[in-house]
Amino acid sequence: MLNIQKIFEAQDKLDRKVVEIHGLEGKNLTGDVTHALYTELGELSNEIGFFKYWKKNKKDDKARQYDEWADCMHFLVSLGNKYGHSDWITKVDIDNIQCRPYTRTDTSYHDLFENIYRLELNEWDEYTEALMALLAIGIKIGMTFEDMEKAYFDKNQVNYDRLASGY
């Protein structure tokens, strides 16, 4: 089972550290975080390659896909914290992801990515759909909930290492 609350708490801690180290106290970073999420979603879709109809020999580098997925998760969770959704996150029924109308794992990659792009992430119900869509993308690329948690926390450590090295 995916411990989503643990991820939200870890992301809040990381975001506070970034703000502290870079002297960003009092700055509204929501627009930058949203743009970073969209950029990482583009990188994830590029790694999956589902839209590359012109390529015969598509790479299927799971390590890169999982890493890009973790980047997306970092920014999506960061936005969830910024919008105050972390207070409600324990109410999300992650185990029943297949039952959600917009996030079923038989939904196309195109639809899952579009859902994340078009939803109003400041609205709790739409944010939840975006989170579920990202989890569905993870499942579609072969991740288990354990893989998702590991990918998130592996990347979280990389981010702390980058902060320590002046990245």
pLDDT in tens, 129-158: 999 999 999 999 999 999 999 999 999 999
Domain count, the chain: 1
How do residues 24-83 score in pLDDT, each as one tens digit?
999 999 999 999 999 999 999 999 999 999 988 888 999 999 999 999 999 999 999 999
CA distance 82 to 76: 10
Between the CA of residue 51 and those of 32, 64, 105, 121, 122, what are the distances in Å? 26, 17, 17, 25, 28
What is the CA 104 to chain-centroid distance, rounded? 17
Position 120 confidence tier, pLDDT thresholds 50, 70, 90: very high
CA distance 15 to 166: 15
The residue segments making up the domain with residue 46 are 4-51+60-164
Please give the full DSSP string across 26-64, using - where no structure is assigned: T---HHHHHHHHHHHHHHHHHHH-TT-TT-SS----HHH
Q: What DSSP character marks residue 126? A: H
CATH number at residue 146: 1.10.4010.10
